[in-house]
Chain A
Amino acid sequence: MGYTVTEKILLAHAKGVKDIAPGDFIRAKIDLCLGNDITSPIAMREFRELGKKKVFNQKRVVLVPDHFLPAKDMKSANQAHSLKEFAREFGISNYFELGEMGVEHVLLPERGLILPGDLAIGADSHTCTHGALGAFATGMGSTDFAYAMAFGECWLKVPETIQVRFTGKPRKWVGGKDLILHVIADLGVSGALYKSLEFTGDTIENLPMDDRFTMCNMAIEAGAKSGIIQADKITEKYVKAAVRKYKQPRKTFKSVISDKDATYSEVREYNISKLEPVVAAPHLPSNGKSVSELKDIKVDQVVIGSCTNGRISDLKLAAAVLKNKKVAPDVRLIVIPATQAIYLEAVKEGYAETIVKSGGVFCTPTCGPCLGGHMGILHAGEVAISTTNRNFVGRMGHPKSFVYLSNPAIAAASAVKGKISHPADL
């Protein structure tokens, strides 16, 4: 009996076993572990209490102060400072100070830190993003992060895999965000609980990396442990360029693919050739509806950014919609490139200028408003449309505010019209 790509990666990392099956508990060697300014302080405290003198590998622990940075208040500054101190004390080279810092799940792939076939864990639920590299990547808690830093391993239950097969060519203004919102609407927020989602099919084979990251990023919103897309030529080209650019010590990798006779708990097929852009209504990411069903809902704020849609192709799309247009009066458009490299490219390509001329603001990289941290908190009763990943009660501010989730083109068009809109409406 064959293995899925997820099972193969887990077996290659599992300690003391020769075979693997869904439901097995394993101790797995990790290639990389990650924490941010919110989750690391707890992990660092626990690591210190353990009395370890060294982390398992100074190059494989990554600390990214991205959530509340630039520090929004004194306590956030303390938390960020504690990461820097820890990085210095334990010689952790992959600590990213403001100026290099970016949203973690965009920054790590950009830097070539995660390779196809890797097993990566992060004290952040959106660690599943890295599955787009053909790696097994999953979010855990701070204690897991502390344990990983100390021992270079983690405990895992081998998940069942749901194969999600997409066929057809997406229509104009439809991208990875729409595909994943469509799937989450179908599965529900717990439809893939404890399972892995393996995205495949001709649509995925032709999908650019940025869109693949967006899709794997939101696997958690269906309750999944991980999302994964088998590495192919597109992945390999992306990873090799990143590794070369940032002179990473790990240069070689071996892509892993599912066996033909692998076992899936379920196979779901979607022909997306007629799919319209999808918008998820408050207060669950599974409330996906066709954009035409939600037209005329007035918005107060538009956010374009985050680990879901803060990449260069997202900003390009937003700029294309905003070109020679003005943001509607009384609407706040907040655009946040996810990393410094994306920021710079957006400046060079003129996207930043287009966005600012349209009446939007162009901010420093941060998770910021996505989790109601800073840089765009909603007032009671306010409505936002956002390219982020969650629209839970109070996610972006007041518990009585409302968040709609969409792709960057829909978000930009909505900023211009002041209500949820399709670019074709402009």
Chain B
Amino acid sequence: MKLKGKVHKFGNDVNTDEIIPARYLNTSDPEELALYCMEDADPDFMKKAVKGDIIVAGENFGCGSSREHAPISIKAAGISCVIAESFARIFYRNCINIGLPIFTSVEAAKELKTGDVAEVDANKGEIRKEGRKTVYLSEVFPKFIKEIISSGGLMAYARKKDQEV
């Protein structure tokens, strides 16, 4: 899978309250959650973002509340993937479980700036800035997680497993 999109850059410790504020958690409808994606980190985010765009952030992206609404709103907003220096653990597993592609790369996260166009080869974990030769390699997913990702998320993995039993 090849992803390409305009970069929206955020800082360290972006928490799930900023990604999708609790005032919108009286619904779990993805389309509705998408309307408010990143609202408290950047109120104009949804005016600027277009389908395929990429979120790039610093350390500990997605810290705080366990709300799966956060990666759901990012995915439903059409963001193709998130690249960060590191991810908070519940957010990390939520992304894997729902099938939002995420990539951990300190170099890529530091190098990419708002307005850049990033290209990602999801299978190889290769990230580059459009028109540049330098390739940044994202951290490799452990085998176990690869299985979940290749199944299409945790519930798809569960269905497959259920049939095997």
A residues whose Cβ falls under 8 Å from a Cβ of B: 25, 38-39, 41-42, 45-46, 49-50, 67-68, 72-73, 75-76, 78-79, 122-125, 127, 139-144, 146-147, 150-151, 155, 157, 189-190, 193-194, 223, 225, 284, 371-373, 390, 392-395, 399
B42-80 interface bits toward A, Cβ cutoff 8 Å, 1 = contact, 0 = none:
010000000000000001100111111100100000000
Asked if A151 and B158 sit within 8 Å, CB to CB, the answer is yes
Which residues of A have CB within 8 Å of B143?
A: 25
5 nearest CB pairs, A to B:
A75-B26, A141-B94, A143-B97, A190-B60, A25-B144
Pairs across A and B, CB under 8 Å, 14 listed:
A25-B143, A67-B22, A72-B26, A73-B26, A123-B66, A141-B98, A144-B93, A150-B158, A189-B13, A190-B63, A193-B60, A284-B13, A373-B25, A399-B21
Asked if B22 and A39 sit within 8 Å, CB to CB, the answer is no
Asked if B17 and A371 sit within 8 Å, CB to CB, the answer is yes
* Bound Cα distance A141, B60 (Å): 17
Asked if A144 and B154 sit within 8 Å, CB to CB, the answer is yes
Partner of A392, one of B17, B98, B144, B162: B17
Quick check: is B132 within 8 A (CB to CB) of the other chain? no
Partner of B28, one of A42, A225, A395: A42
Asked if B158 and A394 sit within 8 Å, CB to CB, the answer is no
Most buried by A among B18, B66, B67: B66
Most buried by B among A140, A141, A142, A189: A141
Asked if B97 and A190 sit within 8 Å, CB to CB, the answer is no
Asked if B17 and A395 sit within 8 Å, CB to CB, the answer is yes
Quick check: is B124 within 8 A (CB to CB) of the other chain? no
Which residues of A have CB within 8 Å of B41?
A: 393
Shortest C-beta distance, B10 to chain A (Å), equals 12
Shortest C-beta distance, A141 to chain B (Å), equals 4
Shortest C-beta distance, B110 to chain A (Å), equals 16
> Which chain A residue has the least Cβ–Cβ distance from B32?
A75
Which residues of A have CB within 8 Å of B159?
A: 50
> Which chain B residue has the least Cβ–Cβ distance from A124?
B66
Asked if A46 and B66 sit within 8 Å, CB to CB, the answer is no
Which residues of A have CB within 8 Å of B5?
A: none
Which residues of B have CB within 8 Å of A45?
A: 28
Kindly identify, within residues 1 to 41 of chain B, every residue whose CB is under 8 Å from any CB belonging to chain A. 13, 15, 17-18, 21-23, 25-28, 40-41
Shortest C-beta distance, B68 to chain A (Å), equals 4
Which residues of B have CB within 8 Å of A127?
A: 66
Shortest C-beta distance, A177 to chain B (Å), equals 18
Partner of A39, one of B60, B66, B162: B66
Which residues of A have CB within 8 Å of B68?
A: 39, 42, 123, 141-143
* Bound Cα distance A45, B29 (Å): 11
* Bound Cα distance A372, B24 (Å): 10
* Bound Cα distance A125, B89 (Å): 10
* Bound Cα distance A415, B1 (Å): 56
Asked if B89 and A225 sit within 8 Å, CB to CB, the answer is yes
> Which chain A residue has the least Cβ–Cβ distance from B22?
A371
Asked if A193 and B67 sit within 8 Å, CB to CB, the answer is no
Quick check: is B153 within 8 A (CB to CB) of the other chain? yes
Shortest C-beta distance, B62 to chain A (Å), equals 11
Most buried by B among A139, A151, A371: A371
> Which chain B residue has the least Cβ–Cβ distance from A400?
B40
Which residues of B have CB within 8 Å of A155?
A: 144, 148, 154
Given contacts A155-B144, A372-B21, A372-B22, 17 further A-B contacts (CB under 8 A): A38-B25, A50-B155, A68-B26, A73-B26, A124-B65, A125-B65, A125-B66, A139-B66, A141-B94, A141-B98, A143-B68, A143-B153, A190-B60, A223-B63, A390-B17, A393-B41, A394-B18
Quick check: is B131 within 8 A (CB to CB) of the other chain? no
Kindly identify, within residues 131 to 147 of chain B, every residue whose CB is under 8 Å from any CB belonging to chain A. 142-145
Shortest C-beta distance, B38 to chain A (Å), equals 12
Given A39-B67, A143-B94, A390-B64, are A190 and B86 also a contact pair (CB < 8 Å)?
yes
Asked if B15 and A392 sit within 8 Å, CB to CB, the answer is yes
Quick check: is B88 within 8 A (CB to CB) of the other chain? yes
Asked if B158 and A147 sit within 8 Å, CB to CB, the answer is yes
Asked if A46 and B155 sit within 8 Å, CB to CB, the answer is yes
Asked if A143 and B155 sit within 8 Å, CB to CB, the answer is yes
Asked if B155 and A147 sit within 8 Å, CB to CB, the answer is yes
Which residues of B have CB within 8 Å of A141?
A: 66-68, 90, 93-94, 97-98
Asked if B13 and A190 sit within 8 Å, CB to CB, the answer is yes
Shortest C-beta distance, B132 to chain A (Å), equals 29
* Bound Cα distance A141, B88 (Å): 12
Asked if B40 and A75 sit within 8 Å, CB to CB, the answer is no
